[in-house]
Structure 1
Amino acid sequence: MSKELKRQEVQDHHAIIQAIKGIGAIEELVEFEAGHGYKYAVDLEVSIYGRNYGPGKKVGPYIRMFKYPPGAEVIREGDWDTNTFYIVVEGSAEIFVKAVKDGKEPVASVKHGNPFGEMAVLAGVQRAATIKAHHETGISVLEVQRPALRMLRKLKKFGAALDLTYRNNGRNSTLGILTIGEEAKKQLAQISEFRVLARGHVVCQEGRPIDRIIIVKDGWLKRTCEADKTGESADFIGAGYCIGLNALAERGAKWAYKSIVLSRTEVPI
């Protein structure tokens, strides 16, 4: 039986609003101001009820609520569903990873108020784990579709939490592919920061002291240097490249080139 047949949708809009009120990260979405009404009235309408803009022009709803019975699968490891993520309303979810005991035992759990599956939506990557409703209690969740993400980012708590999650996951996934010891990875995790850089951002400047090591997770950098009086020489580096390592062996080392972001690039720094 498919996971769609196992779950039950909660159609009561009042219950959905109450669920949102009970989740600190998104409670601002249903904030009511005396004399003014809902602070995010239009976003709330589109997210929960859907909105009609004319015949055949309805948008939303983008936030729905579902109940999953004990052991029911919510998302599956390896799937390319990058359109939805979930927030736990009641009960808890269990996380299974194939690489750990063949995915037969949970490696962690997700409790009330916490999201899961958001990295697939944010980064457009495969699901990293299988997540099921708790084998005893089941789970109730808010299913959030991609279009609602723009609305939810307006909320201070949710926006900050989402940014932190994205940075932490991006950093950890990058460190995970490095061929270094676990202790070294832990040390790097403590001192590194994951960033998404826009086109044209200057990562390092020629002639300045090297004060960081940069690993390119995704995207491209253009390196230029004043090779001679005739102009600049240039090369390009992409995912997997690391710059700044020479500072580890040479005290006072300086950047020998200027690095500029060519397209949206993800880097732990």
Structure 2
Amino acid sequence: MLTPLKDKTVVVTGASKGIGKGIAKTFAAKGAKVAVVARSLTKAEETAVEIRENGGAAHAFEGNVADLESMKRVADETAGVFGGIDVLCANAGIFPNAPIEEMTGEQWDEVMNTNARGTLYSLQACLPFLKKAEYGRIIVTSSITGPVTGYAGWSHYGASKAAQLGFMRSAALELARYNITINAVMPGNIMTEGLEGLGDQYLQAMTASIPLKRLGSVEDIAHASIFLASKEAGFITGQTIVVDGGQILPESLEAMS
């Protein structure tokens, strides 16, 4: 059994929807105080209200991970409300489709600034408070796309997700002196709001590539994040956990027959 998260404060970026919302709600259900961070304060507040209505502790903050000063305000305000920061879940990310032949430099920069630079800025903003914690934890939401697999139209996204892991490994060395660990969760195909409108045929094709024969849930990612945030995971740093139902294992669909 993991040490309870009661009295721990968790900052979750990109927490108004999808995986980030699942992470925020699951941490709150485990007793943590959650800073729900999103670019839209209205959307962040919707998640925070949902958490509070279910008996959890949450506060909404407007923050742009691609803007360091914005994230510093979030970190300062979170510490003011909850008394400190123990865990950062650097989850915010975007994944617009852009074929290589059509991709502009602006599209590339937008994805890299949010996904890769946003990880840096979130960490930098929270670091002064993580250093004061009993033990600091940073969990990065990366992806199997980029570090392991590819997907047409997502080359900039894949590059950003691979960049997060390269950053994480060197960051682990710098943060160890402060008893802060940093690790990454690499989701496969996860059922979020973004997939609901793609149709049954698309979802069935995605499911067919997963040995466990289901899409992942946001809670699957949240539970891996909670483990990495735990006291018991204190000797794990600079590592990744793939949460994909075995998706990256088979050489082909025939390998699963």
TM-score, L = length of structure 2 = 0.23
Q: Which has the higher helix share?
A: 2
Bigger Rg over Cα: 1
- Report which structure shows greater RCO (CA 8 Å, sep ≥6): 2
TM-score, L = length of structure 1 = 0.22
